[in-house]
């Protein structure tokens, strides 16, 4: 018991002590990014690209007899499905884009987004020390939006790559990039969610953050507090065109796997079942006797596909892949895509009200592989790939080859042909395969114009294409 003469003084001392100590205990410990920025910024690069596109005065500058305002031109020029060779008053117009990237290998390899360098004729990389270097595109994978560039230079700084599997919601992260062209801008925030699947990007388990990301940040690194790269900033969800609080990054583990495949093989190999799927709605779940709407409902199985060989049927609901839950239909492509072709997967399937396990040997995605012909690029200026059956049905054609690359100075580029077009017929002869196309070209005389039937996004039209002499 405290003696009365001293009790008041003792209590006053205790109160003063608490008043002094409490603010110190309650003071928030916010992260300091200065050291991270000093060490990481030299390896973050600004990327600018340019390409030449052919513009028709009648198709792009005029719409309904009126000139299209300049602000809308970027949207209309490439989306009007006009015949690439037939419009008058055609000229070339440079297109430029800005993005970010980072050096992850001292030999000059740079990681960025595929959409930053898509269809670029020239790629320029600017370092923090103001060096400007011409970059070569090693490869790009649009399904994950990852691209790898190569520059030739000495004494290049590099970034340390972390492990995105260890990320936790609420963790502090920072981004360095070039929003709107402003070099080496730094923003920070926290991880809002992990393993996000976006409707058009089902092969990536995105990291969602509240880090301020704007146009120009694309392709730049996302760091943890240890200064390690844990993601590549890729997209934002916006209604205004600018940052609105939701940013998405590609996990570095996913990006590095893609980058290594692009460096070593030139393409990305991913698993394939050969099934068409749809979400399980609440009503469908009830009709199948399911307690909740989950899984991926198989609507169609491609004949001769791994799914057919493994015994999958239309009406099956895939609930798990090797023990990993398929909580939504969009989860299935990612889980299968991560599986190496030739490996077996155990699928937990609901069939006729009964749950069973079906083992399927995963195949390789039909578009993958180096089996694309150069299509005699010296004479025609294109690279092509075979079409799979699913693509043919989607386009409503039974033959053709997809154009995957167009040489900027080639005859095809001069005629307005671009990557993604399908070459259906050369002259009067259907094109069945890249090998057949190459053989057909060897029989054509030099400098001869031939009619070429193209399919672009389901629309078909002819263009006159002049065959080169191979010089």
| pLDDT one-digit tens code per residue, 233-272 | 998 877 766 677 889 999 999 999 999 999 888 888 888 8
Q: Which domains does the chain have, with CATH numbers?
A: 41-150 (2.40.10.10), 164-264 (2.40.10.10), 271-364 (2.30.42.10), 382-466 (2.30.42.10)
Residue range 294-321: mean pLDDT, rounded: 91
The dihedral of CA 52, 53, 54, 56: what is its sign? negative
Residue range 453-471, pLDDT digits in tens: 888 877 887 887 777 654 4
Judge whether 235 and 241 are in contact, CB under 8 Å: no
* Of residues 279 and 229, more confidently modeled: 229
Query: What predicted TM-score, i.e. pTM, was given to this entire model?
Result: 0.64
Residue range 180-231, pLDDT digits in tens: 878 889 999 999 999 887 766 778 889 999 999 888 889 999 999 999 999 9
Predicted local confidence at residue 55, as pLDDT: 52
List residues with catalytic annotation: 115, 145, 218
Residue range 98-154, pLDDT digits in tens: 899 999 999 999 999 999 998 888 999 999 888 999 999 999 998 899 999 999 999
Predicted local confidence at residue 378, as pLDDT: 46
Mind spelling out the 3-state secondary structure of the chain?
CCCHHHHHHHHHHHHHHHHHHHHHHHCCCCCCCHHHHHHHHHHEEEEEEEEEEEEECCCCCEECCEECCHHHHHHHHCCCCCCCCCCCCEEEEEEEEEEEEEEEECCCEEEECHHHHCCCCEEEEECCCCCEEECEEEEEECCCCEEEEECCCCCCCCCCECCHHHCCCCCEEEEEECHHHCCCEEEEEEEEEEEEEECCEEEEEEEEECCCCCCCCCCCEEECCCCCEEEEEEEECCCCCCCCCCEEEEEHHHHHHHHHHHHHCCCCCCEECCEEEEECCHHHHHHCCCCCCCCEEEEEECCCCHHHHHCCCCCCEEEEECCEECCCCCHHHHHHHCCCCCCEEEEEEEECCEEEEEEEECEECCCCCCCCECCCCCCCCEEEEECCHHHHHHHCCCCCEEEEEECCCCHHHHCCCCCCCEEEEECCEECCCHHHHHHHHHCCCCCCEEEEEEEECCEEEEEEEECCCCC
Question: Residue 380: pLDDT above 80?
Answer: no
Judge whether 172 and 190 are in contact, CB under 8 Å: yes
Predicted local confidence at residue 86, as pLDDT: 45
Q: How far is CA 442 from CA 22, 383, 404, 418, in A?
A: 85, 15, 21, 22
Question: Residue 300: pLDDT above 90?
Answer: no
Q: Quick one: pLDDT band at residue 356, thresholds 50, 70, 90?
A: very high
Q: Identify the burial level of 27 via C-beta atoms within 10 angstroms of its C-beta, where 0-12 means exposed, 13-18 middle and 19 or more buried.
A: exposed
Average pLDDT, the chain: 80
Residue range 398-440, pLDDT digits in tens: 889 888 777 666 677 777 888 888 989 888 889 988 878 877 8
């Amino acid at each position: 018991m405290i003696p009365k003469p001293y009790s008041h003084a003792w209590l006053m001392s205790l109160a003063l002590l608490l008043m002094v100590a409490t603010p110190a205990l309650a003071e928030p410990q916010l992260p300091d990014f200065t050291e991270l920025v000093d060490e990481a910024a030299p390896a973050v690069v600004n990327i600018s690209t340019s390409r030449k596109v052919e513009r028709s005065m009648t198709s792009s500058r005029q719409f309904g007899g009126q000139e299209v305002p300049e602000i809308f031109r970027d949207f209309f020029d490439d989306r009007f499905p006009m015949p690439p060779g037939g419009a008058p008053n055609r000229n070339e117009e440079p297109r430029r884009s800005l993005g970010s990237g980072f050096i992850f290998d001292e030999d000059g390899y740079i990681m960025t987004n595929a959409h930053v360098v898509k269809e670029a004729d020239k790629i320029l990389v600017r370092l923090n020390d103001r060096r400007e270097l011409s970059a070569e595109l090693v490869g790009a994978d649009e399904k994950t939006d990852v691209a790898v560039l190569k520059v030739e230079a000495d004494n290049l700084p590099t970034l340390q790559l972390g492990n995105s599997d260890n990320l936790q919601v609420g963790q502090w992260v920072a981004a360095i990039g070039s929003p709107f062209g402003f070099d080496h801008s730094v923003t920070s925030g926290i991880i809002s969610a992990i393993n996000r699947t976006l409707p058009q990007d089902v092969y990536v388990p995105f990291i969602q953050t509240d880090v301020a990301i704007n146009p120009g940040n694309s392709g730049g690194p996302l760091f943890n507090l240890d200064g390690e790269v844990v993601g590549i900033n890729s997209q934002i969800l916006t209604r205004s065109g600018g940052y609105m609080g939701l940013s998405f990054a590609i996990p570095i583990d996913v990006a590095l796997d893609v980058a290594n495949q692009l460096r070593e093989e030139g393409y990305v190999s991913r698993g394939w079942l050969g099934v068409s799927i749809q979400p399980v709605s609440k009503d469908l779940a009830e009709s199948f006797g399911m307690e909740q709407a989950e899984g991926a409902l198989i609507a169609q199985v491609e004949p001769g596909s791994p799914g057919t060989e493994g015994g999958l049927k239309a009406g099956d609901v895939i609930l798990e892949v090797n023990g990993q839950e398929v909580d939504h239909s969009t989860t299935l492509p990612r889980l299968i895509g991560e599986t190496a072709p030739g490996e077996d997967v155990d699928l937990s399937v609901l069939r006729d009200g009964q749950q069973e396990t079906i083992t399927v040997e995963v195949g390789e995605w039909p578009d993958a592989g180096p089996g694309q012909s150069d299509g005699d690029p010296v004479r025609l200026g294109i690279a092509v790939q075979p079409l799979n059956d699913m693509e043919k049905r989607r386009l409503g054609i039974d033959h053709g080859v997809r154009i995957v690359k167009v040489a900027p100075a080639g005859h095809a580029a001069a005629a307005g042909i671009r990557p993604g077009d399908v070459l259906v017929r050369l002259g009067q002869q259907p094109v069945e395969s890249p090998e057949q196309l190459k053989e057909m070209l060897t029989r054509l005389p030099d400098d001869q114009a031939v009619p070429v039937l193209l399919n672009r996004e389901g629309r078909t039209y002819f263009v006159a294409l002049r065959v080169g002499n191979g010089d």
